Amino acid sequence: MILDQSLSQTYRLTLTQKMRQSLQILQLPAISLRDFLQEASMSNPVLEVEDPPLGEEMVELQKAAVAREELRDLPIERREQIIWENGGGEDRNFSNFASQPESFSDYLNSQLGQMTGLDNAMQAMCQYLVGCLNSAGYLDCPLNELAEDLGCDHFELEQALYVVQSLDPPGVGARSLSECLLLQLVQGEHFNAVNIHLVRDGLPLLAKNDLDGLSRLLGVSKADVKRAAADIRSLNPIPSSGFYTGSRTVYTIPEATVRRGAQGGMVIEMNSTVLPQVSISRENCALLESTDSKEAHLYLKEKLAEANTLISSLEERQNTMFRLLDVIVRLQEGFFTRDEDLRPMTMAQVAETLGVNTSTVSRAVKDKYIQVGSRIVSLRSLFTTSLQSEEGSGVSSASAKLQIKKLIAAEPPEKPLSDEVLSSALAGMNIHLSRRTVAKYRGELGIPPACRRKK
């Protein structure tokens, strides 16, 4: 019986590791995948990686372009500070600005590494979930789809999620704003029945500042409602705030170029100048048959299997990326051909067309870019929203505005949420709106910008 359990766990762990590698390869942007393959070749003598040269001049131009773009997105006070620190002008050295501190995921994984009570399979699943968190620190993919992708039991992955949700900062791994706030209440000093009831059922009323309605709903006095509201506003709706989230990269290499073809249609050209050529070393593979050493034979056989799995995962990634881009270009034809505004397009809609899980699409577009003319466009930015109306069409502005009101109602008065932060928080709820759209909706709600909401 013990042997059966051990074999089961070993099989489960092996399967998890293979699936994790496949999913990791799909999720990695091209330039990070390039580094990943180089590292893989260092530990596998059967794997040959022939890396195409990436000119230093191109790298520096990419770094400068991304740094300038990020600089324009920052508040003016922070922008001026960075310009001053880097020599006083936007054309000066941006190397300090482009450097990456410890990331949010690194911080979470370091905590997992210190947990001695987790077996290897559970540790792997927890690390996988950390990699699935979006930039706001939310888990925005259905758990059943993630379990299917990983090839593990739904209950086991749910247990792994509970572990992730126990990490610091409180609220990480939440699947909704309500769950994020509840996790913080449970782990903090404001845990009481009134606050729990307010977060579960009263956020729409709190967004309207309807104290009378909240008093009736909660069955407490207005004074108690005000105290509860203050408690909720002291919580953090964006667990990853204050951390580097990985959305900023030192330089950006497009996965593909989308251009108009000779016949007038759009053509997708995958970028073949970044990813290296990966193959099996015939010389080292021949040792598998010629060696008399049993240990060497088993070692080379294992490495050959790893190399084949890696190559298969790479081919699958390229196929998935091309099919994904083909669907996006067709659905957003007006954007690519006539420079029109983006149409409502959800990850679920694209996933259904491709015949894959929504989580696969989410992973495939993460930190990926394409070149359209002279522009570098983020794939995630092409998804306007992930909510649907009852008729199945694009989300109504009323639905998005309600979530914006809820977030602002729960914000700390001394540190109101900027439109950029609101956009990230909405992404954590599967509502992907640009900062400009958030500002537009906020204005239509009659809510002033963050600088005027500070108390």
Residue 155 has a pLDDT of 86
Residue 83 has a pLDDT of 46
As a whole number of angstroms, the distance between CA 198 and CA 273 comes to: 54
Q: Is 0.85 surpassed by the pTM of this model?
A: no
For 80-107, letters b (16+ CB in 10 Å) and e give eebbeebeeeeeeebeebbeeeebbbeb
CATH topology of domain 397-453: Arc Repressor Mutant, subunit A (1.10.10)
As a whole number of angstroms, the distance between CA 286 and CA 296 comes to: 12
Residue 324 has a pLDDT of 93
Residue 61 has a pLDDT of 46
Per-residue CA distances from 233 to 71, 174, 198, 425 (Å): 30, 17, 12, 15
Closest CA to 367 of 95, 124, 58, 131: 131
Closest CA to 235 of 301, 178, 281, 312: 178
Residue 391 has a pLDDT of 35
- Contact partners, residue 289, CB within 8 Å, separation at least 6: none
Q: In the numeric block, which tokens belong to residue 130?
A: 């950390």
Instruction: Tell me the pLDDT of the chain (455 aa) as tens digits.
Output: 444 444 455 445 555 566 777 888 888 888 788 888 888 888 888 888 886 655 444 445 455 545 555 555 455 445 445 444 444 444 444 444 444 456 788 888 888 888 877 787 888 888 888 888 877 888 877 888 888 777 778 888 888 899 999 998 889 999 888 888 889 988 888 888 888 888 888 888 887 788 888 888 888 898 998 888 888 888 888 888 766 554 444 456 788 888 887 777 788 888 877 777 888 877 766 666 666 677 777 887 888 888 888 888 889 899 999 999 999 999 888 888 877 767 778 888 898 898 888 888 888 888 888 888 877 888 887 886 544 433 333 445 667 788 888 888 877 777 788 888 888 777 766 677 777 788 888 888 888 888 778 77
- Contact partners, residue 324, CB within 8 Å, separation at least 6: 350, 354, 361, 364, 365
Q: Name beta bridge partners: 158.
A: none
Element (H, E) at 347: helix 347-354
Residue 321 has a pLDDT of 92
- Per domain, the residue ranges of the chain are 56-98, 191-233, 397-453
The amino acid at residue 275 is L
pLDDT tens-digit series, residues 248-257: 444 567 888 8
Residue 287 has a pLDDT of 67
- Contact partners, residue 155, CB within 8 Å, separation at least 6: none
Element (H, E) at 258: strand 256-260
Residue 79 has a pLDDT of 47
- Contact partners, residue 244, CB within 8 Å, separation at least 6: 100, 101, 102, 103, 104
For tokens 């942007």, the residue is 29
Residue 356 has a pLDDT of 87
